């Protein structure tokens, strides 16, 4: 008699665009969306695929691949960051662009979804090479971006300097000055006060609301954070000043832990001085997986996609997962966490503070009228608290998790705009 072989474990599909489509389909089914509209909203409207030849410092020419994707612009111009990372793929950019559509709709700002990326390791480029790569990319995407078309912003490994080069290249080609073509610019070039901290600040506002819902005292809570860049390190700092204990953090090189709470301001200085959190005095080293699985109230993934999967979701001990990163949790992991009673604050809500203040920056640029930081932060708080409550109400009404609730809310708003505009021609 033949012996049955053991079941082969089903491999999770970690393609970010497939995941984004699956999230969309789950919510679209709840909305009974008509098939034509469903097809329109599930695919990106436009994908620009680029070959970017750059003269390197040693005189050789190297060709980089780049992308700009516009997913949906029914509610307003496209909006979305630009990522410089060796792991960028077209499907990742398509996923990120679609999440931008749903994010802008979740927080109800009049913008659509877009995203860009270049396959490169910016840490291995000189400043001159980085500038030439950025300007070449800006020139190539200038055919589809613009203050009323598509407005880029920073994302992983891009910053205000890169936004300034894009703004300058676009302005030079247009023969004028177009500060509203990008957001996340330095303040003296038309940036907004509070933009640098906005993603983390928005995330902390929704964590505060979620803590209230879950009866957790934020001031006595424990927090673990994966990723110590713009989103992660500023969230750590804000939560530390709220009185929470940040017990573990990691970056791409290492992780550090102290059950009694890390001294976050000192850790920020250490990271600035050494380039990593590794070796922070008064902490123990831990690996990335342990940061995700740490015993804590709040877990903040703030690095890249697919960090919480079917393989580790069961070992997550946090009561709240606040997705500062885009796409850190897979659909299979979502189900496991939901069953365990973990409240996942989805990326399209939890990190929407960044795009919300980018929207404020764009408004300020167009009006040439700049706001005080406390005005920006107060407006941001209002948007985040209202959006948290909208998503919670939708999740409760449909008896679904917070991600599906946010998707239902967002898809419905984009569907109404698309139906009303009609299909051209």
Active site residue 269: no
Which one, of 140, 83, 85, 87, lies nearest residue 114 by Cα?
Answer: 83
Active site residue: 115, 185, 271, 319, which one?
A: 115
324 is an interface residue for ligand NAD by CB under 6 A: yes
Q: Smaller CB distance to ligand NAD: residue 222 or 358?
A: 358
With contacts defined by CB under 6 A, name the span among 7-15, 52-60, 301-309, 416-424 that binds ligand NAD.
Answer: 301-309
Looking at the Cβ atoms of 214 and 379, the one nearer to ligand NAD is: 379
Asked whether residue 379 is marked as a ligand-binding residue, the answer is no
CA distance 263 to 236: 10
Strands (E), 112-207: 112-119, 150-154
CB of 357 to ligand NAD, least distance (A): 9
Query: Is the separation of the CB atoms in 110 and 145 below 8 Å?
Result: no
d(CA 170, CA 235): 32
User: d(Cα 236, Cα 228) in Å, to the nearest integer?
Assistant: 8
Residue 304 makes contact with ligand NAD by CB under 6 A: yes
Per-position x/- string for 208-247, each x denoting binding to ligand NAD as judged by CB under 6 A, each - no binding: ------------------xxxxxxx---------------
Q: Which is nearer to ligand NAD, 232 or 405 (CB)?
A: 232
Long-range pairs for 405-408: beta carbons < 8 A, 24 or more residues apart? 406/102, 406/106, 406/346, 406/348, 406/349, 407/23, 407/24, 407/26, 407/27, 407/102, 407/346, 407/348, 408/27, 408/30, 408/31
Helix axes 402-421, 35-42, angle to 10 degrees: 110
Query: Cα(139)–Cα(168) distance, rounded to whole angstroms?
Result: 10
70 is a contact residue toward ligand NAD (CB under 6 A): no
Answer for the pair 390, 409: CB distance below 8 angstroms, yes or no. Answer: yes
Choosing from 16, 80, 152, 154, the residue that interacts with ligand NAD (CB under 6 A) is 154
Among residues 222, 283, 351, 377, the one that binds ligand NAD under rule CB under 6 A: 351
Contact 176, 168 (CB under 8 A): no
> Minimal distance in Å, beta carbon 196 to ligand NAD?
8
Indicate whether 404 belongs to the interface with ligand NAD (CB under 6 A).
Answer: no
Residue whose CB is less far from ligand NAD, 76 or 81: 81
Of 203 and 343, the one with the shorter C-beta distance to ligand NAD is 203
The reply to whether 103 sits in an annotated binding site is: yes
- Over the window 190 to 209, marking each residue x when it contacts ligand NAD by CB under 6 A and - when it does not, the resulting string is ---------x----------
Distances (CA, A) of 370 to 177, 345, 347: 17, 31, 28
283 is in an annotated binding site: no
Residues carrying an active site annotation: 115
- Residues in the site for ligand NAD, rule: CB under 6 A? 154-157, 199, 226-232, 250-252, 288, 302-304, 324-326, 351, 354
Please give the annotated binding residues for NAD(+), written as ranges: 199, 230
């Amino acid at each position: 008699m033949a012996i049955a072989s053991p079941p082969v474990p089903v491999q999770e599909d970690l393609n970010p665009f497939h995941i984004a489509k699956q999230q969309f389909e789950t919510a679209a089914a709840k909305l009974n969306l008509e098939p034509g509209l469903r097809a329109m909203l599930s695919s990106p409207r436009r994908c620009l695929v680029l070959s970017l030849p750059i003269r390197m410092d040693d005189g050789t020419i190297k060709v980089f691949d780049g992308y700009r994707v516009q997913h949906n612009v029914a509610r307003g111009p496209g909006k979305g960051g630009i990522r410089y990372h060796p792991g960028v793929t077209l499907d990742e950019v398509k996923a990120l662009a679609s999440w931008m559509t749903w994010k802008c709709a979740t927080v109800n700002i009049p913008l659509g979804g877009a995203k860009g990326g270049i396959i490169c390791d910016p840490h291995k480029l000189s400043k001159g090479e980085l500038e030439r790569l950025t300007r070449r990319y800006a020139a190539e995407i200038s055919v589809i971006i613009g203050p009323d078309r598509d407005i880029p912003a920073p994302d992983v490994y891009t910053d205000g300097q890169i936004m300034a080069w894009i703004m300058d290249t676009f302005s030079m080609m247009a023969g004028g000055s177009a500060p509203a073509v990008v957001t996340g610019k330095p303040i003296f070039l038309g940036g907004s006060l509070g933009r640098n901290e906005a993603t983390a600040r928005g995330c902390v506002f929704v964590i505060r609301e979620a803590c209230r819902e879950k009866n957790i005292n934020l001031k006595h809570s424990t927090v673990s954070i994966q990723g110590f860049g713009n989103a992660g390190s500023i969230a750590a700092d804000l939560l530390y000043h709220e009185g929470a204990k940040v017990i573990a953090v990691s970056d791409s090189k290492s992780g550090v832990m102290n059950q009694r709470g890390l001294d976050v301001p000192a850790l920020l200085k250490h990271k600035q001085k050494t380039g990593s959190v590794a070796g922070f005095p008064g902490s123990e080293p831990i690996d990335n997986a342990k940061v995700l699985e740490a015993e804590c109230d709040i877990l903040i993934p703030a690095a890249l996609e697919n960090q919480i999967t079917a393989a580790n979701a069961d070992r997550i001990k946090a009561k709240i997962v606040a997705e500062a990163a885009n796409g850190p949790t897979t659909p299979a992991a979502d189900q496991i966490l939901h069953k365990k009673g973990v409240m996942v604050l989805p990326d399209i809500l939890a990190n929407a503070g960044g795009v919300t203040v980018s929207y404020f920056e764009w408004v300020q640029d167009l009006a040439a009228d700049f706001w005080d930081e406390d005005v920006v932060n107060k407006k941001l708080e209002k948007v985040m608290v209202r959006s948290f409550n909208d998503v919670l109400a939708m999740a409760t009404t449909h008896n679904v998790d917070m991600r599906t609730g946010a998707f239902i809310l967002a898809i419905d708003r984009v569907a109404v705009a698309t139906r009303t505009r009609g299909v051209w021609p």
